[in-house]
Amino acid sequence: MALDGILLSKILPEIKELCPCRINKIYRISNTEILFNLRTKNKNQKLMISCHPLYNRINITKMNYPTPEEPSHFVMILRKHIESSMIVDVTQGSLDRWCVFTLNKRNIIGDEITLKLYVELMGKYANVILVDENNKIIDALKRIPPFENNRRTIHPGAKFNIVDPHTHKQDPFDNPIIDREITLTNQLEGFSPLLSKEVTYRLSNNQTYKEIIDIIEKSNSIYITHNKNETHFHCLPLSHIGFSKEYPIHDGIDTIFYHKEEKDRIKQIVGDIYKVVKRELKHNKRKLPKLLDSLAEAENNDKYRLYGELLYTYNINDTKGLNFIELESFEDGSIIKIPLDPKLDGKANARKAFQRYEKLKKGAHHIKNQIEITKEEIEYFEGIDQQLEIINFEDAKEIVEELIQGGYIKAKKSKSKKKKKQNSLPKITTINYDENIKIFVGKNNMQNDALTFKIAQKHFYWFHTKDFHGSHVVVNTDKLDEKLIRTAANIAAYYSKGRYSSSVPVNYCQIKDIKKIPKAKLGKVSLTTYKTIYIDPEEKLINKLLD
């Protein structure tokens, strides 16, 4: 899924058109992502650089990214050295997967100096390296000390060496001599295995190399193809895989990669709520069988009453040193084996049996309460676990807030002076069904509760899966037709644990028929009257609605 040199050569011209531009702000998005706010001649732009091992990329982005309160060490170095500097040029290393930004700035005594920022997009070796005017490394996102790589050290103070160029490969745009027996990746600069397969496929289908390379040379788009849960993309339609959808090149990069790193981003910024939820689920699922065993014993408390009565009835005294005694039942004559404490005499063992009877009799009620609480906890965390599959960063922050309020995690002390507005409503995903009708989707318990009881009006219709954890879906209308019912039910089924099931039951009713359950977890409701529809979730329909 990585970019190759050809695709990078299509991305960079649009970035180069922004030059000269000023670097206004530099943000750390995650451990591998850096965002530059640029001031160009006409407007502000955002430049994303990612050095993720799988999703490394560079592009002008329109997406909104969350930022941690504290920048990383490398981002602090970048802010110190290049914030407010001018990007005067961007060049690519031949058709290799690296480029360099030439930056002009004035030092503390007012002299103009030139720094260089190298962006290397080479899979697990992806890196961002800041180099001074003497070709010495100031710092890098990923440092590589000499003992790890003695050929190319990436460390502050070391001399910077450019990535070895592939001199043995031919320029694909300069009438190369193609050997059909060797893969194009090994012959041509900038060719990834994916592009090599596509060009080979086209050559075998009577297209000439010149025709194919002309398509690549003239392309200003990116074509995205989905196949077997994998996403493939390049600057020409991938006809050897299937149908490709065309996007403007930088928008297409956003479309491909924005959600790929989202879970990593969430973990790094709001903490590993995934681990917290898994831990609580594991704890409660282990606890439940033990409570059920304790309840079974508590409900069988009469045997301890019988033990005590028999020991008193037969006037058993000398039991010290014995682990058990067998006595005849005065009800049916059967032999009953009574466990004893070898340190106690008969009367003391009888008293202990009665005490055990009273304790279990009183404890049964408590154990039943604990079982109900544990079952509720399992159901609650299974619901959050399902929500974690569909959340974005803002949704995750609300789940963290909910877990803090519930006492499951501790609130971190924030250095930020910004105060959150009291009683502010969470952001709700909104789908425009038509000009008048909107469909609202809650993606966590806080959103579900706010949507159902604070935002929706009494005559609005409400949808939720019957047997699965899922989103509250609300339609702002008091009149439903079959198409609208099926659409809303499809959304409710898709944003639920039944996403990959068939014939998912979805209940629907008006908001006036919904009530909160006293003392229940956030988002839990009861329905007075409702109807049920069975639906097969359709991902294509959901994606179309979201688009």
Domain boundaries, the chain: 1-172+247-270, 274-386, 429-546
* pLDDT score at 505: 94
Mean pLDDT for all residues in the chain: 89
Q: Given a cut of 90, is residue 370 above it in pLDDT?
A: yes
Global pTM reads 0.70
* pLDDT score at 430: 92
* pLDDT score at 51: 93
Provide the token pair at 487: 């659409």
* pLDDT score at 423: 60
Q: Given a cut of 60, is residue 379 above it in pLDDT?
A: yes
pLDDT in tens, 177-212: 988 888 999 999 999 999 999 999 999 998 999 999
Could you give the C-alpha distances from 63 to 47, 196, 232, 253, 511, in angstroms and in order?
A: 10, 31, 21, 11, 34
* pLDDT score at 272: 75
* pLDDT score at 317: 86
In this prediction, residue 532 has a pLDDT band, given cuts at 50, 70 and 90, of: very high
Are the C-beta atoms of residues 453 and 515 closer than 8 Å to each other? no
* pLDDT score at 468: 85
pLDDT in tens, 52-80: 998 999 999 998 888 877 889 999 999 99
DSSP 2: -
Tallying the residues shown for the chain, one arrives at 547
Lowest mean pLDDT: which of 38-42, 155-159, 387-391, 416-420?
416-420
Residue 171 or residue 420, greater confidence: 171
Q: Exposure string (b/e) for 525-546, b if CB count within 10 Å is 16 or more?
A: beeeebeebebebeeeebeebe
Please provide the DSSP assignment of 516-545 as one string: EPTTPPTT-EEESS-EEEEE---HHHHHHH
Residue with tokens 């193609």: 178
DSSP 173: T
In this prediction, residue 416 has a pLDDT band, given cuts at 50, 70 and 90, of: low
Please provide the DSSP assignment of 208-247 as one string: -HHHHHHHHHH--EEEEEEETTEEEEESS--TTT---EEE
Give me the architecture of the 1-172+247-270 domain, per CATH: Roll (2.30)
In this prediction, residue 490 has a pLDDT band, given cuts at 50, 70 and 90, of: very high
